[in-house]
Amino acid sequence: MAHVSDLIASDIESYLALHEQKELLRFITCGSVDDGKSTLIGRMLYESHMLFDDHLAALKVDSKKVGTQDGDIDFALLVDGLAAEREQGITIDVAYRFFSTDKRKYIVADTPGHEEYTRNMATGASTADVAIILIDATQGVLTQTRRHSFIVSMVGVKRIVLAINKLDLVDYSQSIFEKIVADYQEFADNALTLDEITAIPISALKGDNIVDSSPNTPWYDGLSVIEYLESVPVSSTSQSRSFRMPVQWVNRPNREFRGFTGMIASGMIEKGQNVRVLPSGRESKIKGIITQDGDLDLAGAGRSITLTLDDEIDISRGDIISASSNPCSLGDQFQSHILWMDDSSMTPGREYLFKANTQTTSMTLGRLKYKIDVNTLEHTPATVLEMNEIGVCNISLARRIAFDPYKDDPVMGGFIIIDRISNNTVGMGFIDFALRRSDNIHWQSMDTTKESRAKQKGQRPRLVWFTGLSGSGKSSIANILEKKLQSMGRHTITLDGDNIRHGLNRDLGFTKADRVENIRRVGETSKLMVEAGLICISSFISPFSSEREMVRNIMDEGEFVEVFVDTPLEVCESRDVKGLYAKARAGELPNFTGISSPYEAPVNPEIRIDTTQTSAESAADLIIDYLSRS
């Protein structure tokens, strides 16, 4: 039998159906490294004797079969089993564990405390009703405690159990417990938006205040951890919000049937209800609600359904079906909180992919307004975010999306950030609000088009993008290329890296963020030149593949011609007509490409030129030949 935390969603749904009559509470355990999360979960499962997660079968423990499906398992072996999972690599994901008591069923997101796995903790917290923040009584409130608490609050968790663990190591000291609670409360009052903090003194190893009250803490008369989890109100907020359903696919097996399938993100839907489809704004009425279990008159958040409508309107994957009475908003520019989760720093101006529910589009991160110090709670100036840092910045999307601010609907206001090159998830964000310019600025259609301008000039507009190290010969080849094209009667413009920095980009330096912004601006300028019907020749080191790909993506198919001037570093250095390499070697030019800053060579350029074998004149002829043939 497979490990429950490895089962697919449909298996989990079947698994939970066994306990459909019980309320479901989702909670997360988090905190710093070695605060005792695995021990706490192990103790809860061991003491409750109501385990439904079958991972214990893998431990092969000989014991009497009492209380659980797999037996009355030895506590030490259970905790060893949970710890062994971490050694086998489960820390790269969130381990979801399922168990039940007489009163409730639970899903606990078991996340590692290591700083490098903060992304996993944020993922687990995003669907939790309650967060159990563990604090080692011998250590007190640590940076990771504050970071996890801040993230928990940021993603919308309103109830925290402050589990002060390892009280047995400090002789069950009431004063130490109260000091830690006071320190945390001071932090929470200044940093967090919570409805409730419940502090419980525990020893996960000894079992104090996990299921029953402990005689070792006579000064504490509150609830145990399990008593709290059994009595805390289960959030029904997602049901009370306005109806939202992202369309996952359009189901049309024949001409007579057309349904729209997805999981209800928020609210309730019923037959006959009026709905609005975004971003189109078209409206219709619900004709039917279809599920695997049959047709329904009413369905709520978390239910996978197929909707049929009275009208034949155009709906595609990524559209949002919402209540007509209170539809989503539309926007393409937002202020957002960002949690960065990648080893490589977040670079403003770089293009990433934005994914929210089934909506995916290109996104450009604006300059950071500030980052948040989780220790001091200060808003500090910053140009980039490093791994696990939190900041606030504006984002711009390539198209308008349907959204709700995160505070109003976490499902519709949350998003992830994906690197376009590696396809890795590098960050997560929360929409604060749409910028006013998102509604005030609209694309103005013009009668004169790129096609008419190109026809007037009798040529196909192109962007010839030269990339290569400083001294590789880019500018020399570009200069000859333009002269040859003009002699052929072609209409051209050349944008050169040094020349652009005298005007348009004179405010930019040579940090990674400034280089990204430099190419973003040049890319947009180059696009305008191509829109004018010109053959635009742009010559820039453009060291990062992400930015070159960004420029390619804003051009029409076939317009972007990447020319990689592939000259070895030692040859470029030997030329060094500007003395730049010598200064870089001497440490006088920081962030110099090829010396102290990387150059990411193109993998599949349209044209590759080896200047150790090909002259600048011949290289220009090769490019003209390519342009005439394609």
pLDDT for res 90: 36
pLDDT over 50 (residue 157): yes
* Eight-class DSSP state of 608: E
Instruction: Kindly report the number of other CB atoms within 10 A of residue 519's CB atom.
Output: 27
Convert the pLDDT of each residue in 274-307 to its tens digit.
999 998 889 999 999 998 888 899 988 878 899 9
Where residue 444 falls among pLDDT bands split at 50, 70, 90?
low
* Residue written as token pair 């010969």: 473
Residues 214, 292 within the same domain:
no
Range of the domain at 203: 4-235
Catalytically active residues are 542
- Percent above pLDDT 70 for the chain: 84
Residues 300, 333 within the same domain:
no
pLDDT over 50 (residue 12): no
Convert the pLDDT of each residue in 565-580 to its tens digit.
999 999 988 887 678 8
Q: Which residue has the higher pLDDT, 272 or 15?
A: 272
pLDDT for res 593: 87
pLDDT for res 163: 95
pLDDT for res 112: 62
Of 181, 204, 235, at which residue does a domain stop? 235
Where residue 117 falls among pLDDT bands split at 50, 70, 90?
low
Does the residue 98 lie in any domain? yes
* Mean pLDDT to the nearest integer, 496-520: 84
Where residue 79 falls among pLDDT bands split at 50, 70, 90?
low
CATH number of the domain to which 341 belongs: 2.40.30.10
In the chain, what is the greatest distance between 2 CA atoms, to the nearest angstrom? 95
Nearest to 404 by CA among 499, 329, 511: 329
Query: What's the Cα-to-Cα distance from 609 to each of 111, 605, 617, 622, rounded to whole Å?
Result: 50, 10, 12, 9
Q: Tell me the two tokens of residue 629.
A: 């043939």
Residues 75, 170 within the same domain:
yes
CATH number of the domain to which 171 belongs: 3.40.50.300
pLDDT for res 373: 81
| pLDDT, the chain, mean | 82
* Strand locations in 229-267 (E): 244-246, 249-254, 257-263
Question: What SS3 state is found at 319?
Answer: coil
Name the strand (E) or helix (H) holding 628: helix 616-629
CA–CA distance, 487 with 459 (Å, rounded to integer): 14
State the DSSP string of 492-517. EEEEEHHHHTTTTTTT--SSHHHHHH
Of 202, 235, 268, at which residue does a domain stop? 235
Of 299, 323, 347, at which residue does a domain stop? 323
Residues 561, 517 within the same domain:
yes
Number of domains in the chain: 4
Q: Which residue has the higher pLDDT, 154 or 403?
A: 403
pLDDT for res 77: 53
pLDDT for res 275: 94
Q: Please, are residues 335 and 392 in contact by the beta-carbon 8 Å criterion?
A: yes
Q: Please, are residues 128 and 141 in contact by the beta-carbon 8 Å criterion?
A: no
Q: Which residue has the higher pLDDT, 74 or 273?
A: 273
Where residue 617 falls among pLDDT bands split at 50, 70, 90?
very high
pLDDT for res 55: 38
pLDDT for res 508: 84
pLDDT over 70 (residue 236): no
* Residue written as token pair 């385990």: 51
Strands 492-496 and 535-539, how do they pair? parallel
Does the residue 443 lie in any domain? no
Residues 361, 484 within the same domain:
no
Does the residue 192 lie in any domain? yes
Q: Please, are residues 319 and 357 in contact by the beta-carbon 8 Å criterion?
A: no
pLDDT for res 594: 87
Please list, in sequence order, all residues whose beta carbon lies within 8 angstroms of the beta carbon of residue 586, skipping any fewer than 6 positions away. Answer: none
Where residue 150 falls among pLDDT bands split at 50, 70, 90?
confident
Does the residue 129 lie in any domain? yes
pLDDT for res 61: 30
In this structure, of 134-143, 164-173, 590-599, the range with the lowest mean pLDDT score is 590-599
Ramachandran angles phi, psi of 493, nearest 5°: -150, 140
* Residue written as token pair 């072609």: 490
Does the residue 444 lie in any domain? no
Residues 242, 379 within the same domain:
no
pLDDT over 70 (residue 108): yes
pLDDT for res 437: 60
Nearest to 45 by CA among 89, 103, 97, 85: 97
Where residue 156 falls among pLDDT bands split at 50, 70, 90?
confident
Where residue 48 falls among pLDDT bands split at 50, 70, 90?
low
Does the residue 114 lie in any domain? yes
pLDDT over 80 (residue 135): yes
pLDDT for res 272: 93
Q: Which residue has the higher pLDDT, 36 or 21?
A: 36
Where residue 137 falls among pLDDT bands split at 50, 70, 90?
very high
Does the residue 442 lie in any domain? no
Residues 296, 409 within the same domain:
no
Residues 130, 207 within the same domain:
yes
Residues 110, 245 within the same domain:
no
pLDDT over 50 (residue 476): yes
pLDDT for res 120: 66
Where residue 95 falls among pLDDT bands split at 50, 70, 90?
low
In this structure, of 11-25, 339-353, 589-603, the range with the lowest mean pLDDT score is 11-25
* Angle CA 142–146–147, to nearest 5: 115
CA atoms within 13 A on the CB side of 75: 15
Residues 387, 465 within the same domain:
no
Convert the pLDDT of each residue in 189-211 to its tens digit.
877 778 899 999 999 989 999 98
* Mean pLDDT to the nearest integer, 142-164: 86
Residues 227, 257 within the same domain:
no
Q: Which residue has the higher pLDDT, 347 or 618?
A: 618
Q: Which residue has the higher pLDDT, 7 or 247?
A: 247
pTM higher than 0.75, yes or no? no
Where residue 66 falls among pLDDT bands split at 50, 70, 90?
very low
Where residue 515 falls among pLDDT bands split at 50, 70, 90?
confident
pLDDT over 70 (residue 9): no
Where residue 411 falls among pLDDT bands split at 50, 70, 90?
confident
* Mean pLDDT to the nearest integer, 369-387: 83
Does the residue 445 lie in any domain? no
pLDDT for res 442: 53
Please list, in sequence order, all residues whose beta carbon lies within 8 angstroms of the beta carbon of residue 431, skipping any fewer than 6 positions away. Answer: 334, 335, 336, 403, 404, 405, 406, 413, 414, 415
In this structure, of 20-29, 54-63, 127-136, 494-503, the range with the lowest mean pLDDT score is 54-63
Residues 607, 588 within the same domain:
yes
